[in-house]
Structure 1
Amino acid sequence: MNDASLPSTRGCILVVDAQRNMRATTANLLRAEGYTVLEAVSGENALATLAKSGVDLMLTRLQMRPMDGLTLLKCALEVAPHLQVIVMTASGSIESAVETMRLGAYDYVTLPFKAGEMLHRVERATERARLQATVDLLAGELSERHGLSALVGRSPAMRELTSLLVRVARSDATVLVQGESGTGKELVARAVHAHSPRKNKPFVLANCAAVSEAQLELELFGHARGALTGAGRARRGLFKEADGGTLFLDEVTETTPAFQSKLLRTLQDGEVRRVGESAPLRVDVRIITATHRDIAREVREKRFRQDLYYCLNVVPLRVPPLRERMEDVPALAEHFLRRANARSPRPKRLSDAAVKYLMAYSFPGNVRELENLVRRAAALAGSEELLPEDFLLPLKPSRRGSSRRSSRPRSRTRASV
């Protein structure tokens, strides 16, 4: 293995190839473009390098011995979950290369490669690595305050979401967050705000389903003094409170067509008119909305205004349900258990059997349900190790079939998962 003497701002790339000439050719091409390049002669050598070096991208040949590229990919993502991987393969093994992408590789190139094509793919992969590093930094800064660890994970769906989240955060584009209840739509909205140029300005939340239409209008737009019975003081309204920052309208599809018309006018004009006042007030607000409903269906069935939908759906962000990213369950469960342990005089730990038990469940309540299950188990378990029977799962069909199973194994010593 050759170590680069100076780091590069373009990124660090690990080239893995048992064939010395091909490895050197690839490494020299990348060094000439300004990348820091490390070399490894085998999968085992590559894993040792990943464990001690900050690598952004790994280029690996698929056909290697004794550890092939597919095994290396799986092991590498265990060591460095956010590592980007490009697989190099002979033209006759493209089907195997496509399989590596399903397992987490970013891309593949056929050998012998063309220099221009290789550099193009490398540039895209290292850019993605930089975006992911930004996401990781954001999650580290805000995880305790907003629980943003629920947004990160190794699953392809979450990688796609977090990468798009960081890109859209830099703009002022209106964002529509869609996802089932309990998936963390508010956390996504907070992450967009926290990583935007408006992060030092207010983040204001309004739940459109929690109040009546009249009350919602007063909360959002405000009212003048004396405009209402008993209104001895003027009310600024949430639009004005969010001035310069972000206004998050949760469950926006629960509003009436009449209110939607007023909201559309406000968004188009950039002005609010408080109840009891004739002069409008200018506001500079970034709008993020969310819904658990199929908003396109709501539009088709005339329950939601089409013109408002187009105004809100500039950048759609879909938060995947937990059943679509079950590989994230162990990390999420550990995170929630650490939070529970911080408030408990008797710290608990998860058993392997408990993790397998949780991963066999469909989680209709998504991340919120998982958090509650872990907190309850930590509070009620009699021993320091959490076992399957400490998680009181309801009777629901397995996500792998329609059969129903008992929520409680028969004994602690012979738990079945």
Structure 2
Amino acid sequence: MDGTVLIADDDRTIRTVLTQALTRAGCRVHATGSLAQLSKWVEEGRGDLVITDVMMPDGNGIDRIPAIRDMRPDLPVIVISAQNTIVTAIRATEAEAFEYLPKPFDLPDLMSKANLALSRRPRKSDPVPEPLPAPREAADPAMPLIGHAPSMQALFRMVARVLNADLPVLIAGEAGVGKTTIARSFHELSDRRGNGLAFVTSADAGDEAVARAGEKARGGTLVIENPAGFDAAAQARLIGLIEALESGPDRASAPRIVATTGPDPQADVASGRLRSDLYYRLAGVTVSVPPLRARVDDILPLAAHLLARAAAQGLPERGLSDEASAALRVHPFPGNVRELENMMRRLALTASGPQISGTEMREALNQQAGMRMPAPASLGASMTGAPQNGLDQAPAIPMPAANARLSDSVEAHLQRYFDLHGDALPPPGLYDRILREIERPLLQVALDATGGNQLRCADLLGINRNTLRKKLTELNIEVTRRRKLM
């Protein structure tokens, strides 16, 4: 490795480690804790590579990149940061940083990136890049999309790369991982953020509702929640809407399509739950969101972030004791970030002191084990439970315990559905849509329980067999080998 590297970081330990590693690799190194000093070196013509932190005492490293490029267009910049959020990754990408690495970074990985940057130094005859656009304004620091885990950083980089592309996006993941928040980020952090954002759920899948959503999202973003949960007629309407938006006279102002789905959308296609032609229209780019158990090192930073956000919303300020932190790290979190959000809000309210104790944490975990986290249901969308405010979602509502009444579970799902619409009301016709949503799974479960025997199923439900047949036709419930109409 050959070249001069300029390092700017306010952490003396990091400056020392990088200086020693790069010097051993054959580089010359100048290190500083000041962006002003870094800018002076760049202006003097020093350095073949810059490695800079983001949050510095005298400024922001990403904000300094345009000035560096003005002075030295051919000087690559590697950004390192402890601000492990999707906003940081997007801003580093927009500033055309050579690479972005979260702290604590893997030293061999950084050395490899530095070697690549030095080896790609442009010749003097290379064209000068176009000036950078103005830095992004008003990024929401409360957005819960944070994570140092490699899987999350890969997700952030993917989002940053396709943020302003015209391709449709399919966001896949388990319930509670934050798919709706990521869907919102594709709108709120993109060039479309000044235009409309609309959601379509299976409860809003009528002709008029779908058309209204498409019109509201003109020039902006249309989010389709769990299309595999839509019935066949609704999926056909979605295909018609997408075709009309892409080929109609107003296609120049067509919204971007972003859809959320379960962890394996191709399995939904194979099972017939999701039409293949709809899937291929939605899966221009597929973004997979990892479950929380796959990124254990993110649990404690997320918990601290959620407690701080709860305090900002008026709940008592809390921290985690070492014993509480240890208990939290080993919990499997089947409900993912949504479950963690519920737990942190509850502990912020009920803890007896400023530090949540190990006993309080274990009691909360035991209580959580007896609570049923919601699956991605058609009534609500996949949500993180954050307040609907900028990129955040509506307040999470703990789901009733397994022995609770059915009405309690229905009420919780309905509340999530209303919360998804924020200050607005859901589209008209809610009564019939909700009854239809409940009726369909009731018939399906009853059919499965009776092995597809329509006479036994009708008797079980207490309705006439002809009425059952009519409802199966109306609800477009497919006839399988185990569900033969009599």
Shift in CA distance, 141/121, structure 1 to aligned 2, threshold 3 Å: same
Shift in CA distance, 359/103, structure 1 to aligned 2, threshold 3 Å: farther
Residue equivalent to 1:225: none
What CA distance in whole angstroms lies between the structure 1 residues aligned with 2:298 and 2:186?
Answer: 21
Q: 1:319 aligns with which of 267, 289, 293?
A: 289
User: 1:340: Cα distance to partner?
Assistant: 2.1
Q: Amino acid of the residue matched to residue 291 of structure 1? A: T
SS at match of 2:190: coil
What CA distance in whole angstroms lies between the structure 1 residues aligned with 2:136 and 2:323?
Answer: 32
User: 1:335: Cα distance to partner?
Assistant: 1.2
What CA distance in whole angstroms lies between the structure 2 residues aligned with 1:345 and 1:176?
Answer: 35
Q: Amino acid of the residue matched to residue 338 of structure 1? A: A
Stretches of structure 2 lacking an aligned partner (at least 5 in a row)? 9-14, 32-40, 63-78, 90-103, 123-132, 371-486
User: 1:16: Cα distance to partner?
Assistant: 2.0
Tell me the TM-score normalized by structure 1.
Answer: 0.60
What CA distance in whole angstroms lies between the structure 2 residues aligned with 1:393 and 1:104?
Answer: 36
1:358 pairs with 2:366:
no
Q: Deviations over 1:251-275 (max 9, x none)?
A: 11111223222322321232799xx
Residues 152-171 of structure 1: matches in 2 within 5 Å? 152-171=146-165
Q: Amino acid of the residue matched to residue 17 of structure 1? A: Q
What CA distance in whole angstroms lies between the structure 2 residues aligned with 1:37 and 1:77?
Answer: 7
Q: Amino acid of the residue matched to residue 183 of structure 1? A: V
Report how many aligned residue pairs link the two structures. Answer: 300
Residue equivalent to 1:22: 26
Shift in CA distance, 258/79, structure 1 to aligned 2, threshold 3 Å: closer
What CA distance in whole angstroms lies between the structure 2 residues aligned with 1:300 and 1:315?
Answer: 19
Residue equivalent to 1:217: 207
SS at match of 1:204: strand
Q: Amino acid of the residue matched to residue 192 of structure 1? A: F
Q: Deviations over 1:117-165 (max 9, x none)?
A: 5624799xxxxxxxxxx9x978x72243xxx2x2121111111111111
Contact 1:253 1:293 in 2 (8 A): no
Q: 1:393 aligns with which of 341, 347, 365?
A: 365
What CA distance in whole angstroms lies between the structure 2 residues aligned with 1:21 and 1:373?
Answer: 47
1:336 pairs with 2:336:
no
**What is the root-mean-square deviation of aligned Cα atoms in Å?**
4.5
Residue equivalent to 1:254: 229
Contact 1:260 1:305 in 2 (8 A): yes
User: 1:21: Cα distance to partner?
Assistant: 9.4
Identity over aligned pairs, percent? 28
Q: 2:145 aligns with which of 147, 151, 158?
A: 151
Contact 2:48 2:118 in 1 (8 A): no
1:383 pairs with 2:353:
yes
Q: 1:308 aligns with which of 273, 278, 282?
A: 278
User: 1:25: Cα distance to partner?
Assistant: 8.8
Q: Amino acid of the residue matched to residue 307 of structure 1? A: D
What CA distance in whole angstroms lies between the structure 1 residues aligned with 2:330 and 2:152?
Answer: 20
User: 1:196: Cα distance to partner?
Assistant: 1.7
What CA distance in whole angstroms lies between the structure 2 residues aligned with 1:305 and 1:370?
Answer: 33
SS at match of 2:267: helix
Q: Amino acid of the residue matched to residue 334 of structure 1? A: A
Q: 1:270 aligns with which of 245, 248, 266?
A: 245
Tell me the TM-score normalized by structure 2.
Answer: 0.52
Residues 221-236 of structure 1: matches in 2 within 5 Å? 221=211
What CA distance in whole angstroms lies between the structure 1 residues aligned with 2:328 and 2:81?
Answer: 20
Q: Deviations over 1:7-51 (max 9, x none)?
A: xxxxxx9952375892329999xx77754479xxxxxxxx9x999
Stretches of structure 1 lacking an aligned partner (at least 5 in a row)? 7-12, 39-46, 57-75, 85-100, 124-133, 222-236, 274-279, 398-417
User: 1:78: Cα distance to partner?
Assistant: 8.9
Residue equivalent to 1:292: 262
Contact 2:5 2:27 in 1 (8 A): no
Residue equivalent to 1:119: 118
What CA distance in whole angstroms lies between the structure 2 residues aligned with 1:360 and 1:325?
Answer: 11
Q: Amino acid of the residue matched to residue 28 of structure 2? A: A
Residues 68-107 of structure 1: matches in 2 within 5 Å? 103=106, 106=109
Q: Deviations over 1:269-327 (max 9, x none)?
A: 32799xxxxxx986611110011252101111222211211111000011111111111
SS at match of 1:304: coil
Q: Amino acid of the residue matched to residue 218 of structure 2? A: D
Shift in CA distance, 377/120, structure 1 to aligned 2, threshold 3 Å: same
Residue equivalent to 2:475: none
